[in-house]
C-alpha cells in the first residue's frame, strides 16, 4: 500500500488502486485523504485572490471553495480509466457567482494577471450539449504543483447547474455524471434555453414538468426541510468565529449543517462522516462572510430549502402563455395556463404551511432571536407577493395579446373557468396565511 504520495507516479498508482477496489479500503481512503488535504494551502491562496478580485468588480459576488468529495473523486476515476490521477485538476476548487457574463470575463482578465492560469474551458461561449454554462480556469500559484479549478458563472447559470444536482437528489437520475434519465436531461436542456423557447419546445418542457410532477416533488422537499434547516442556521449565527461549514444530505432526511472555527477540525469531521456512510452526500465549504441567503444560493443543492426555479418556472410558463395567446394557439394557451395555476397553488400552499409551522414553533417557550424569526416570516410574505405580482402581470399581458381577437371575452371566460378550482384554493390559502 502507498504510505506517502511523494511523486506523480505515487499519485497515479493510488488512482489505479482505487479503480480496482469495488469498495475502497480504509488504507486507500486514508491515502486519498492525505492527497485531498495536500491541496489546502494552494486552495486558500487562490481563494483569497479570487475573493479580492471578484469583489472589486461585484460587491455582491458569492465566492466559495471546497475540496472535492470522496465519492466524486472515486466516481471520476472509474468513469475515466485512462486518466492519470495526478491530472485530475479539480481536487481543490473555488466557485464564484457574478452578476452577469461581462463581470465573469472582467474577473477572468484580472485573475490572469495575478495567478498562473494553465488551462481554460469556456462553456459560456461553447455550452455543453445538455445546457451547462460556466467558465473554468485551472491555475496554480508560487510554483506549486497543485492545480486548482476556478468555476466562474453568472447567477442564472449557477441556478441551472444547482437545479441539475437537485434533480439528481430528488429523482436519483444521475444526470450530472451518467446522463441516464433522458427525459429529465431533455427537461434541463430546454430549461437552459428558456429565453428562446418556441411553443413546440415549450410544450415538451410543460409535458415533462407535469408528467414527473417536478414542482410538486421539489416543493414538498423544500417545505419539509425549511423549518429545521433555517433553525439550524439561526443557531449557527451565534458562532461568529465559525467560517467552515459541513453540509450533509441523505435521502429522505433533513440536511444537516455543522460549523467549525478552522479547516483542520472541519476536514477531520468530514473524513469521519464519510467513513461512517459512504453513500452520504457531504460538502465542506468555506464562507468568510456567511449568511443564510448566501449559503442557500451557493449551496441550494445541499440546503434543499429554496431555489430560484420556484419563481422562474412561472415566468417561463407565463412567457409561453403570452406567446400562445399572440399566435392564437388556443389549445396550448389553455394547457400552459392550467399548469401555471397548478404550480402557483402548490407554491402558495407550501409557503402558508411553512408560515404556520414557524408561527407554532415561535410560540414554544425559550425560543430566542425573535428578530431572525420576523425576517423569516417577512421572506414568506415577500414570496407570496412575488407570485401575486407575476399573476397580475400575466393577466395584463394576455389581455393585451387578445385585444384584437373577436372572441376575446369567450377566451378570457374559458381561461377563468379552466383554473377556477385553483383560484378558489389560492384564495383559501391566502385567508389561512393571516388567520
Q: How do the domains of the chain map onto residue ranges?
A: 8-155+243-303, 184-212+308-433
* Confidence (pLDDT) at 3: 54
* Confidence (pLDDT) at 2: 47
Its pTM stands at 0.87
Burial grade of 74 (CB within 10 A; 0-12, 13-18, 19 or more): buried
**How is domain 8-155+243-303 classified at the CATH fold level?**
Beta Polymerase; domain 2 (3.30.460)
With a CB cutoff of 8 Å and minimum separation 6, the contacts of 133 are: 123, 124, 127, 153, 157, 160, 192
8 Å CB contact between 187 and 209: yes
* Confidence (pLDDT) at 260: 93
8 Å CB contact between 51 and 115: no
3-state secondary structure the chain: CCCCCCCHHHHHHHHHHHHHCCCCCHHHHHHHHHHHHCCHHHHHHHHHHHHHHHHHHCCCCEEEEEECCHHHHHHHHHHCCCCCHHHCCCCEEEEEEECCHHHHHHHHHHHHHHCEEEEEEECCCCCCCCCCCCEEEEEECCCCCCCEEEEEEEHHHHHHHHHHHHHHHHHCCCCCCCCCCHHHHHHHHHHHCHHHCCHHHHHHHHHHHHHCCHHHHHHHHHHHHHHHHHHHHHHHHCCCCCCEEEEEECCCCCCEEEEECCHHHHHHHHHHHHHHCCCCEEEEEECCCCCHHHHHHHCHHHHCCCCCHHHHHHHHHHHHHHHHHHCCCHHHHHHHHHHHHHHHHHHHHHHHHHHHHHHHHHCCCCCCCHHHHHHHHHHHHHHHHHHHHHHHHHHHHHHHHCCCCCCHHHHHHHHHHHCHHHHHHHHHHHHHHCC
How far apart are the C-alpha atoms of 133 and 203, rounded to whole Å?
A: 24
* Confidence (pLDDT) at 294: 85
pLDDT tens for 268-294 read 898 888 888 767 788 888 887 778 888
**Regions of the chain where pLDDT drops below 50:** 1-2
How far apart are the C-alpha atoms of 204 and 188, rounded to whole Å?
A: 11
* Confidence (pLDDT) at 107: 98
CA 405 to mean position of chain CA atoms: 42
8 Å CB contact between 117 and 140: no
Amino acid at each position: 500500500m502507498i504510505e506517502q504520495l511523494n511523486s506523480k507516479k505515487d499519485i497515479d498508482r493510488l488512482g489505479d488502486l482505487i479503480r480496482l477496489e469495488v469498495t475502497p479500503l480504509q488504507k486507500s481512503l486514508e491515502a486519498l485523504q492525505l492527497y485531498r488535504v495536500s491541496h489546502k494551502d494552494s486552495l486558500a491562496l487562490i481563494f483569497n485572490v479570487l475573493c479580492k478580485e471578484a469583489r472589486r468588480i461585484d460587491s455582491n459576488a458569492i465566492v466559495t471553495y471546497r475540496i472535492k468529495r470522496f465519492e466524486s473523486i472515486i466516481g471520476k476515476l472509474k468513469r475515466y480509466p485512462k486518466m492519470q490521477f495526478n491530472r485530475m485538476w479539480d481536487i481543490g476548487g473555488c466557485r464564484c457567482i457574478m452578476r452577469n457574463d461581462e463581470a465573469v470575463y472582467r474577473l477572468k482578465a484580472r485573475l490572469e494577471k495575478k495567478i498562473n492560469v494553465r488551462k481554460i474551458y469556456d462553456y459560456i461561449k461553447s455550452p455543453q450539449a445538455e445546457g451547462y454554462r460556466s467558465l473554468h480556469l485551472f491555475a496554480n500559484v508560487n510554483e506549486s504543483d497543485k492545480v486548482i479549478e476556478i468555476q466562474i458563472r453568472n447567477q442564472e447559470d449557477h441556478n441551472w447547474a444547482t437545479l441539475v444536482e437537485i434533480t439528481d437528489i430528488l429523482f436519483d437520475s444521475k444526470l450530472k455524471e451518467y446522463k441516464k434519465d433522458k427525459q429529465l436531461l431533455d427537461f434541463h436542456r430546454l430549461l437552459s434555453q428558456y429565453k428562446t423557447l418556441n411553443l413546440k419546445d415549450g410544450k415538451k418542457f410543460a409535458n415533462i414538468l407535469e408528467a414527473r410532477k417536478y414542482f410538486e416533488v421539489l416543493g414538498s422537499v423544500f417545505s419539509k426541510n425549511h423549518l429545521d434547516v433555517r433553525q439550524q442556521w439561526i443557531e449557527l449565527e451565534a458562532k461568529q468565529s465559525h467560517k467552515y461549514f459541513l453540509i450533509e444530505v441523505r435521502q429522505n432526511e433533513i440536511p444537516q449543517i455543522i460549523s467549525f472555527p478552522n479547516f483542520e477540525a472541519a476536514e477531520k469531521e468530514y473524513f469521519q462522516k464519510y467513513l461512517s456512510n459512504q453513500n452520504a452526500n457531504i460538502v465542506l465549504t468555506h464562507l468568510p462572510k456567511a449568511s443564510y441567503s448566501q449559503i442557500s444560493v451557493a449551496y441550494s443543492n445541499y440546503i434543499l430549502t429554496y431555489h430560484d426555479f420556484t419563481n422562474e418556472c412561472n415566468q417561463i410558463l407565463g412567457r409561453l402563455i403570452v406567446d400562445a395567446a399572440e399566435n392564437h394557439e388556443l389549445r396550448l394557451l389553455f394547457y400552459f395556463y392550467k399548469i401555471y395555476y397548478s404550480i402557483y397553488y402548490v407554491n402558495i400552499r407550501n409557503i402558508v404551511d411553512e408560515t404556520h409551522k414557524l408561527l407554532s414553533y415561535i410560540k414554544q417557550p425559550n425560543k430566542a432571536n425573535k428578530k431572525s424569526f420576523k425576517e423569516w416570516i417577512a421572506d414568506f410574505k415577500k414570496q407570496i407577493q412575488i407570485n401575486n405580482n407575476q399573476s397580475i402581470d400575466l393577466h395584463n399581458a394576455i389581455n393585451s395579446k387578445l385585444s384584437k381577437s373577436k372572441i376575446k371575452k369567450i377566451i378570457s371566460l374559458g381561461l377563468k373557468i379552466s383554473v377556477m378550482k385553483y383560484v378558489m384554493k389560492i384564495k383559501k390559502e391566502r385567508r389561512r396565511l393571516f388567520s
